[in-house]
Amino acid sequence: MLFDTHAHYDDARFDEDRDALLSSMPAHNVGLILNPGCDVETSRKAVSYAQKYPFIYAAVGIHPENIDENWNNDLAVIKEMAQRETKVRAIGEIGLDYYWEKEERARSRQQVVFRRQMELARELHLPVIVHDREAHGDCMEITRQFPEVRGVYHCYAGSVEMARELLRLGYYLSFTGVITFKNARKAIEVIREAPLDRLMIETDAPYMAPEPYRGRRNSSLYVHRMAETIAAVKGVDAAEVERVTMENGKRLFAIS
């Protein structure tokens, strides 16, 4: 069974068939799904899916693109959810996004909110799910400031050198459909170098559908493509990648 460690079923693109689609997952060999939140509302939805489906787990957090004036109050709500809900297994997704945010003051605020959520993860003994878009240097600096915290860099897009440091810090690297695209050279190099027992697979649904489904609405039904791609790079069976990435996800998110 496959573990899609990052999918956003709160997205409106699933409004028409969410229940039918999620109910069909076990029959399609998808055994576990982790739905991260990006703000209070989507974190609540993630928790509600986790309550409804035994194979869904949740993360709660404030995404760097979703920070507004209320972030301090929102963080209190996130903390309360993380403490109360047993199926919340991570703080995420959190991090920095300099692709969408060019303004220096707003970037500083992203750093403050990222740090506060790293503190929360440390306090609650939860792993983190990190979103790092064109902010590698600052993401690493904050990650280094919390040596007690473990987690995953989702949709990993950094260098081989950065991957080595993250692995030393105890982090996992997770890969989306991007690795099935022709121009994915850098990510493929990282996959070749990193040990299989530190890799995870994800769809980031509804975004970034893998080849040959590119352009369509993505869902966990396509997560097998990431296992197949990693298997080809590593020269092992897809079944082996399926098994090991399932174990990795269960270990990081404390799922028995």
CA atoms within 13 A on the CB side of 196: 21
Q: How many CB atoms lie within 10 A of CB 1?
A: 13
**How many alpha carbons lie under 13 Å from residue 228 in its C-beta half-sphere?**
9
Residue closer to Zn ion (CB basis): 4 or 242:
4
CA distance 43 to 19: 18
Closest residue to Zn ion using C-beta atoms: 204
| CB neighbour list of residue 185: distance below 8 Å, 6 or more residues apart | none
Neighbour count for residue 179 (Cβ, 10 Å): 23
In the bound state with Zn ion, the residue whose beta carbon lies nearer, of 7 and 82, is 7
Residues of this chain that bind Zn ion (CB under 5 A):
204
Nearer to Zn ion, 101 or 204 (CB): 204
Q: How far is the CB of 201 from Zn ion (least distance, A)?
A: 14
- Cβ proximity to Zn ion, 22 vs 152, nearer residue: 152
Least separation in angstroms between residue 207's CB and Zn ion is 7
| Six-digit token string for 53 | 């489906």
Smallest gap from Cβ 65 to Zn ion, in A, equals 10
CA dihedral (147, 151, 154, 158) positive or negative: positive
Residue nearer to Zn ion on the CB measure, 11 or 228: 11
CB of 153 to Zn ion, least distance (A): 12
Instruction: In angstroms, give the least distance from the CB of 92 to Zn ion.
Output: 8
Q: Of 131 and 150, which has the nearer Cβ to Zn ion? A: 131
**SS3 category, 237:** coil
User: In angstroms, what is the minimal distance from the CB of 250 to Zn ion?
Assistant: 20
Give the integer Cα–Cα distance in Å for 33 and 182.
Answer: 27
Note whether 26 and 220 are within 8 A (CB). Answer: no
How distant, in Å, are the alpha carbons of 24, 222, 238 from that of 27? 6, 13, 18
